[in-house]
Amino acid sequence: MKVGIVQQLSTKPLKRISPSRFVAMQQCALREVFAAAGNRPLLPVNPSARVGSIIHKLLQDVGSGAVVQDKESLNAAWSTLVSETEGQMKDSSTERFLVPLRANVSDLEVRRIRAIHRALSLKVFGSRVAGKETKAQKLPVGCEVWVQSTNGRVGGFIDVAFESSTGIVICDYKSGSIIDAGTGHNGTPKDEYVVQLKLYSALYFETFGFWPIGAELLPLVGEALKVVIEPENCVQILANANQLFNSVNARVAGCSAGHVDGLNELASPGSERCVHCLFRPGCPAYKRASRENGMESLPDVIGEVAFVNLQGNKRYQIGVSTVRGDVVVRQLSHGDGRHGAIEALQVGDTVGIFDVQFDSTRKSATETNRTTIYCLS
């Protein structure tokens, strides 16, 4: 078997849809099916997203009382989380070249300072696991409150549910921007986050029999943004999620029965979706779309190998014949084990060189810190 060749990704029926992935599943169900089936990502997670997960975990640990709310403890917790994350990255064949995070996330220190600042100002609610409930109503409050639909098909953890003077409010911590830049309105939250909170509200009702009075998005910097909860609308979103669960699983079952076209029905290839998808080297729909229309705005080079040269500076150069013309990818690392696929490549093989930096002509490209190469023949 050739080094760097993509194995067929497996598919399995979904066990559940998480509110945090519902909008993504509406955009491309195949990506979520690949993830739910336990396939390892074929491309490295963006190191900036890794830092986002560290920030989210730190805030959760502070909110639940697992980390003491003083600077010394928070700095120690941050260092531990970074070190654990880097340990996981070192175990990944695609991410080990992105360690340490400080060398690959230019604003890491700014984000650390902001995270600790936010953590110092956070209310500590305690853990739901510890069984914190209000005395008057016995409503479940605290951090990481599990909620699910009565049929179990939609479910997830709410970051925080707390009691205000008017009723229960649910809150989600966000490490990145919560504003929808496209609307032109400063205070409009991203639609996917609004849908997520509405879905959590419907699940809170199905789990405990009470509607939250409101919902909030808490960013790293600035005030929490409120989201209006209208039960009728939330119930409709939950019905949509149930419907999606049923239709996706019906198609996955069709694929298992040997109807490979079912996979195509699950896929929605498109530049804005595929660019964030870590399964695209193994996605048949993406491969086909790349061959048919070039997926021009994506940072990938897919086509037939025309030549492979090892330059005098010990860097590889690969010429690729693509649907949009010939492209030369330069300055590819050699000798550190990063691009094991290159040495096995032969002229005429189909190659995918993902996450490159194109020049303005898109005829020439260079390596980035996330460039990954696969033989797709």
**Which C-beta is closer to ligand SF4: that of 65 or that of 270?**
270
Q: Residue length, the chain?
A: 377
- The CB-of-24 to ligand SF4 minimum distance in angstroms stands at 9
135 contact partners, CB below 8 Å, separation of at least 6? none
**Which C-beta is closer to ligand SF4: that of 30 or that of 229?**
30
Q: Are strands 155-163 and 168-173 parallel, antiparallel or unpaired?
A: antiparallel
Q: Are strands 364-375 and 325-332 parallel, antiparallel or unpaired?
A: parallel
Tokens of 223: 């005030």
Tokens of 347: 């002229």
- The CB-of-33 to ligand SF4 minimum distance in angstroms stands at 8
Q: How many CB atoms lie within 10 A of CB 259?
A: 13
**Which C-beta is closer to ligand SF4: that of 126 or that of 270?**
270
Q: How many CB atoms lie within 10 A of CB 130?
A: 10
**Which C-beta is closer to ligand SF4: that of 179 or that of 278?**
278
Figure out which of the listed residues 17, 25, 30, 199 binds ligand SF4, where binding follows CB under 6 A: 30
**Which C-beta is closer to ligand SF4: that of 116 or that of 285?**
285
- The CB-of-345 to ligand SF4 minimum distance in angstroms stands at 22
- The CB-of-275 to ligand SF4 minimum distance in angstroms stands at 9
Figure out which of the listed residues 21, 31, 56, 111 binds ligand SF4, where binding follows CB under 6 A: 31
Site size toward ligand SF4 (CB under 6 A) is 14
H/E stretch holding 160 reads: strand 155-163
d(CA 68, CA 133): 22
Amino acid 166 reads T
Which residues 263-302 are close enough to bind ligand SF4 by CB under 6 A? 267-269, 273-274, 277, 279-280, 283, 285-286
Backbone phi, psi, residue 263, to 5°: -60, -45
Tokens of 145: 């409150």
**Which C-beta is closer to ligand SF4: that of 212 or that of 269?**
269
**Residues paired with 6 in a beta bridge:** none
Determine if 248 is a binding residue for ligand SF4 (CB under 6 A): no
Determine if 28 is a binding residue for ligand SF4 (CB under 6 A): yes
**Which C-beta is closer to ligand SF4: that of 30 or that of 244?**
30
Give 366's DSSP letter: E
Q: Looking at 310-373, list the stretches that DSSP marks H as alpha helix, in order from N- to C-terminal side.
A: 340-344
- The CB-of-185 to ligand SF4 minimum distance in angstroms stands at 28
**Which C-beta is closer to ligand SF4: that of 169 or that of 267?**
267
**Residues paired with 272 in a beta bridge:** none
- The CB-of-374 to ligand SF4 minimum distance in angstroms stands at 13
d(CA 371, CA 377): 19
- The CB-of-178 to ligand SF4 minimum distance in angstroms stands at 23
d(CA 251, CA 261): 9
8 Å CB contact between 307 and 318: yes
What string marks each residue from 47 to 86 as x (binds ligand SF4 by CB under 6 A) or -? ----------------------------------------
Determine if 373 is a binding residue for ligand SF4 (CB under 6 A): no
**Which C-beta is closer to ligand SF4: that of 145 or that of 274?**
274
**Which C-beta is closer to ligand SF4: that of 273 or that of 330?**
273
- The CB-of-157 to ligand SF4 minimum distance in angstroms stands at 25
Q: Are strands 225-227 and 301-310 parallel, antiparallel or unpaired?
A: unpaired
- The CB-of-263 to ligand SF4 minimum distance in angstroms stands at 9
- 294-311 burial, b at 16+ Cβ within 10 Å, e below that, comes to bbeebbbbbbebbebeee
d(CA 118, CA 282): 39
- The CB-of-273 to ligand SF4 minimum distance in angstroms stands at 4
**In the complex, which residues of this chain contact ligand SF4 (CB under 6 A)?**
28, 30-31, 267-269, 273-274, 277, 279-280, 283, 285-286
